[in-house]
Amino acid sequence: MVVGGGAMGSAAAWQLARRGREVTLLERFGPGHTQGASHGASRNFNLSYADDTYLSLLREALPLWRELEAESGVAVLDQVGLANHGANPAFDTVAALLPGYGFEAAFLAPEEAGERWPGIRFDTRVLFTPQAGRLNADAAVSALQRAAAARGAAVRHHSRVVAIRLASPDSVLVTVQPVDEVTGEQSGTVETLDARRVVVTLGAWTSKLLGSTVALPRLVVTQEQPAHFAVHDATLSWPGFNHAPNPLDPTYDYWYSGVYGMFTPGQGVKAGWHGTGAVIDPEARTFASEPAQLAALQRYAREWLPGVDAETLVEISCTYTTTPDSNFVVDSSGPLSVGAGFSGHGFKFTPAIGRILADLVDGVGAPPALFSLAAAR
């Protein structure tokens, strides 16, 4: 049984169903909902890591995304490349490591980058990774669920898990409350399901459900607020981008963090601060932007994105669930396996995380030490 039908839970269900396991995926909300962290049309498929664990997962994830596309008939990944710029001291290390994992990396002068992508202003060298790109998050979650169902998984929306109890090493009792498809309120008869193994991938609700059952690290839930900015010229080419500030330069004082972004077809250029939102209870979200952060993001767009209209934007609201070290939690405690704390950078790894969760269910191998429940954080 998989509890939580966002990206990671849907990927786990797909991977388990591919192995012939009997799988039920339980999701509280309806298809395409906007309550969590997996909705929206775009995520960066960013390759710019300097750690073996993440680079190995990226090497695994890329062909798995293509397998999902072939199996579901849905396009989810567009390899438009990604331009990293600004004062990031890790660029040289990243550029040196990527070829060892099968990825290309090249430095461009700011003038050359500006000619290729005039919608972005560059004033430092640019580390360009052409095999990076843009993932359609909504399409990916739908494709994962569709592919899992085609392999025999039962996908149940509007099914809220309200309790999990360990009855024995091979029996986990899962209490499910049906919810009304329109109001989201409790509806129907509560049932208790018995599973040999349970995967919990509940994002912002992980601690609420598992806090007294599994010794989790501290998981902080924040409401993040990127925005889509209208483009001036629809014919411009846009890579994804990451932009690092210079902490020694006072002209960056208004920045809340580094900036990430990408072009979302039909919606404009998405840009946002990373992990700077207000701490929230996922049951009591406002979905409203914090005005000062939004104003600062508009200022960023005016100064660094000449290809957009900084005054014409659509706000976005999503959640991050962040661990103290921003590394993920993917591990087991008895018959329970947990995928949590993806800290705003997990989506690109989704099918590989699904594989790890399926391995945990099957008792195959060990998860990366970086993601262990026992990891020092």
CATH 3.30.9.10 residue spans of the chain? 82-131+220-322
| Domain boundaries 82-131+220-322, CATH class | alpha beta
Segments of the chain assigned to CATH 3.50.50.60: 1-76+134-218+325-377
Q: In this predicted structure, what is the pLDDT of residue 245?
A: 98
State the chain's mean pLDDT as an integer. Answer: 97
Residue in the block written with tokens 């080419």 = 237
Question: Residues 39-51: what's their mean pLDDT?
Answer: 96
CATH of domain 1-76+134-218+325-377: 3.50.50.60
pLDDT of residue 370 exceeding 90: yes
Per-residue pLDDT, averaged over 105-123, amounts to 98
Confidence of residue 183 (pLDDT cuts 50, 70, 90): confident
Task: Evaluate if residue 184 carries a pLDDT over 90.
Answer: no
pLDDT greater than 90 at residue 181: no
Strand bridging mode 106-108 / 220-224: unpaired
SS (H, E, C) the chain: CEECCCHHHHHHHHHHHHCCCCCEEECCCCCCCCCCCCCCCCEEECCCCCCHHHHHHHHHHHHHHHHHHHHHCCCCEECCCEEEEECCCCHHHHHHHHHHHCCCCEEECHHHHHHHCCCCCCCCCEEEECCCEEECHHHHHHHHHHHHHHCCCEEECCEEEEEEEEEECCEEEEEEEEECCCCCCECCCCEEEEECCEEECCHHHHHHHHCCCCCCCCCEEEEECCEEEEECCCCCCCCEEEEECCCCCHHHCCCCCCEEEEEECCCEEEEEECCCCEECCHHHCCCCCCHHHHHHHHHHHHHHCCCEEEEEEEECCEEEEECCCCCCEEEEECCEEEEECCCCCCHHHHHHHHHHHHHHHHCCCCCCHHHCCCCCC
Q: What is the pLDDT of residues 198-223, one digit of tens each?
A: 999 999 999 999 988 999 999 999 99
pLDDT tens digit sequence for 280-323: 999 999 999 999 999 999 999 999 999 999 999 999 999 999 99
pTM of the model: 0.97
Percent of residues, the chain, with pLDDT higher than 90: 96
**Once rounded to an integer, what is the mean pLDDT over residues 127-142?**
98
pLDDT at 327 over 90: yes
Q: Given pLDDT bands bounded at 50, 70 and 90, which one contains residue 188? A: confident
